[in-house]
Structure 1
């Protein structure tokens, strides 16, 4: 079947000078190289970014004599906000338009940067490249499930042109899903899912409760974003929609930084568009392979608000993949959500994700670390939970036998302002 939307997209891009096509071709060519050669090919792009920053930015002008990227300071959201005017470049300095990009953040703290026109084109090409790797093509119907704040929501006509269903997580309930899936199974066009992992979990819970069989609705791509993907949700989404699911690591201010490939748990880092470092939790020294570290990104294509050695606030572990490229073996989320046991040792939040299948009567679970040895589980149960003592004893094996663990029963664990739902909350940081 001819994909008219795809043909129209590429026709419009051709009229605009093939800006997306040329970026996409560059990404594909870079990933066909080995890691060392890719970095050599991207060195002029990095040099251009650093040169632009030191020559046109008050904040970076003191680094004009730099010898390498590591001579530049590590920055974060707070530093960028406090020095925004000194970091951000006017349009005349970058030789083109710039576009405002804003995010409320998970806690509602606003953060705004500018992206250059070249960066905007690169983001579109990145999205096309990584979506295709998951099985999604331009023009396919996209079931996009997230919190649709006003500044994200597309006009209805544009959404129709792009074949995007803007599904709001706040409006997803059993009544809506019953009607939605009846319509979905009648629609035979190719389609993909893009949603928060917790939203997928809610869908799986609904389908489980209804004893649904696998659905025949021609889903060819499922991408989970913004939150860690637990084993239950992974297996259930693949069962119900007969399609591999991948997890994507991205943010609003940069774009797609890494993504899993179908049937792989590791994350391919987007080395074509970023230089990514993993630094130690408590210093700016490089983390060792396999060590949990802070994700620090240099955005190679954004000249408007240069994001050089930008600490994303997230943590991961890195290994060398089978193709010789460094890859994330684990992406754990916000550094402020790191969980520690009673000895002060970091433990993975996946102790929750990977063990909840043992307690199917629990709808939602949130673990709050209040003090070094004080933990609270908030649980939403479908009925009476008779295994509380067993539940506490089981998780004490991870938290520490001297942990003080209590359980609070709630009717709902509320969404954050971002539309996501936290599984781990660390109140000691």
Structure 2
């Protein structure tokens, strides 16, 4: 246990206690409800309160008083929310101030920012801590967050990094030189928790195994996997290398963590305290049959600024709901699919994280609606772009992609009105059609 960890935990608890211990209470309730389930009455009450709220405060839902139960409300994709963005926002929300931005481009390649108030932001943060603590995390532990960090867009200040004991681990490039630097940083900075996307964890563990790197001096006690589904091979290799299993999670930037793996349970336990989950048929909004693969749809109980009722996450999976002997409800994602982007390579043949392409699009929010990068050859790339051409500066877009693909990248732009989706109901932000790397 490191001194910095203990100090931060003490300071957090003291500051929270001075404000009535709100965050600690929220965290403990969240942990209990995830682990022990919720009552059917809680789920019914939360839905009723939310639907009543949106019909009174959101212009989009106000127009439809005939929608009385959840099934009456439309299933909304990211594109639907963007189309009706100003209408969905509750009245006078922007004038109230103190709003937070939950931004994502997602694997569908569509930039999207959800506004929320301080209460929802606290719930997002405590939800994250709750999911971690249920798997052994201690508040204040030094964690390395693996992302494609973009200066001026998603990086954090030195003060915030110090306060949260967080190290920004850049995964823009996952070539051997970059992976070696990441390994050195993990050891030198005594990182205790790796919070990483599946693709980055796959690259890191593969590198450690392939090079026989000595990690005996590492202080890593926990590996937390998020984003795209973690392959079983990576799960087992992580367990072999570190001596403990990685934690699988499921969520998004718009809502927070939706489900978490507890212990060695291969299923994901759904957070029924914060969300109402549904699985709908692939080609209709009818409920999927038990055990049937369908679209993952969630209703967020607590975003009172930008209500997300029946949000189609773009992912697919299988869910089961059951009631225990105490009458409490539990939800499990038996399988989660989606977010399976093709592995892309830069001009030097080094693999790139799918999140490079996601985060690049954040720079062009409001100008580029959709974009997909296709690799046709070692240095040949095509950008399918659905954008406002009057506002878009082509040179800036190409430069943003070339920053990661390499200066020798031959990038051509093809403008489209819409990027075709896959049979799963999604399209990926990148695709590799180069035979040399398939």
Query: Is the pair's TM-score, using the shorter chain for normalization, greater than 0.5?
Result: yes
- Counterpart mapping for 1:207-222 below 5 A: 207-212=208-213, 215-222=216-223
2:8 equivalent in structure 1: 5
Answer with 221-230 or 101-110: which moved more. Answer: 101-110
Q: Could you report, residue by residue, the CA deviation over 1:221-276 in whole angstroms, capped at 9, with x for unpaired residues?
A: 21111111112211121122222112111111111011112212110011110001
Q: Does the residue aligned with 1:311 lie in a helix, a strand or coil?
A: strand
Answer with 145-154 or 59-68: which moved more. Answer: 59-68
Structure 2 gap ranges (5+)? 361-371, 374-418, 424-438
The answer (yes or no) to whether the contact 1:102–1:252 under 8 Å persists in 2 is yes
Q: Does the residue aligned with 2:276 lie in a helix, a strand or coil?
A: strand
2:172 equivalent in structure 1: 170
1:117 equivalent in structure 2: 118
Give how far 1:153 is off. 1.5
Mapped pair 1:223 → 2:229: no
Distance, in Å, in 2 between the alignment partners of 1:305 and 1:179 is 40
The answer (yes or no) to whether the contact 1:219–1:242 under 8 Å persists in 2 is no
The answer (yes or no) to whether the contact 2:144–2:167 under 8 Å persists in 1 is yes
The answer (yes or no) to whether the contact 1:170–1:419 under 8 Å persists in 2 is no
Q: Which of 331, 335, 345 is residue 336 of structure 2 equivalent to?
A: 331
Structure 1 gap ranges (5+)? 338-348, 350-364, 367-377, 381-409
2:205 equivalent in structure 1: 204
The answer (yes or no) to whether the contact 1:297–1:312 under 8 Å persists in 2 is yes
Mapped pair 1:73 → 2:74: yes
1:161 equivalent in structure 2: 163
The answer (yes or no) to whether the contact 1:63–1:71 under 8 Å persists in 2 is no
Summarize the Cα distance change of 1:173–1:215 in structure 2 as closer, same or farther, 3 Å threshold: farther
Q: Does the residue aligned with 2:229 lie in a helix, a strand or coil?
A: coil
Distance, in Å, in 2 between the alignment partners of 1:311 and 1:85 is 19
Q: Which of 389, 411, 416 is residue 349 of structure 2 equivalent to?
A: 411
- Counterpart mapping for 1:302-313 below 5 A: 302-313=303-314
1:58 equivalent in structure 2: 59
Give how far 1:217 is off. 2.3
1:270 equivalent in structure 2: 271
Mapped pair 1:296 → 2:297: yes
Distance, in Å, in 1 between the alignment partners of 2:313 and 2:202 is 25
Q: Does the residue aligned with 1:219 lie in a helix, a strand or coil?
A: coil
Q: Could you report, residue by residue, the CA deviation over 1:331-367 in whole angstroms, capped at 9, with x for unpaired residues?
A: 0015xx6xxxxxxxxxxx9xxxxxxxxxxxxxxx76x
Distance, in Å, in 1 between the alignment partners of 2:296 and 2:163 is 36
Give how far 1:308 is off. 0.4
Answer with 47-56 or 291-300: which moved more. Answer: 47-56
- Counterpart mapping for 1:326-365 below 5 A: 326-334=331-339
Q: Could you report, residue by residue, the CA deviation over 1:179-218 in whole angstroms, capped at 9, with x for unpaired residues?
A: 553564466x671111111101111121122123563423
The answer (yes or no) to whether the contact 1:147–1:168 under 8 Å persists in 2 is yes
1:353 equivalent in structure 2: none
Aligned residue pairs, count: 358
The answer (yes or no) to whether the contact 1:105–1:418 under 8 Å persists in 2 is yes
Summarize the Cα distance change of 1:271–1:171 in structure 2 as closer, same or farther, 3 Å threshold: same
Distance, in Å, in 2 between the alignment partners of 1:419 and 1:84 is 21
1:235 equivalent in structure 2: 236
Distance, in Å, in 2 between the alignment partners of 1:320 and 1:92 is 35
- Counterpart mapping for 1:7-22 below 5 A: 7-22=10-25
Summarize the Cα distance change of 1:94–1:135 in structure 2 as closer, same or farther, 3 Å threshold: farther
Give how far 1:53 is off. 0.8
* RMSD, aligned α-carbons: 3.3
The answer (yes or no) to whether the contact 1:214–1:242 under 8 Å persists in 2 is no
Summarize the Cα distance change of 1:419–1:244 in structure 2 as closer, same or farther, 3 Å threshold: farther
Give how far 1:70 is off. 1.6
Give how far 1:23 is off. 1.6
Identify which of structures 1 and 2 has the higher relative contact order when contacts are C-alpha pairs closer than 8 Å and 6+ apart. 2
Q: Could you report, residue by residue, the CA deviation over 1:114-163 in whole angstroms, capped at 9, with x for unpaired residues?
A: 11222111111111110112222211010111112343221112112211
Give how far 1:172 is off. 4.5
Distance, in Å, in 2 between the alignment partners of 1:170 and 1:119 is 30
2:89 equivalent in structure 1: 88
1:358 equivalent in structure 2: none
Distance, in Å, in 2 between the alignment partners of 1:19 and 1:154 is 25
Q: Could you report, residue by residue, the CA deviation over 1:265-314 in whole angstroms, capped at 9, with x for unpaired residues?
A: 11001111000111111111111111101111100000101000111111
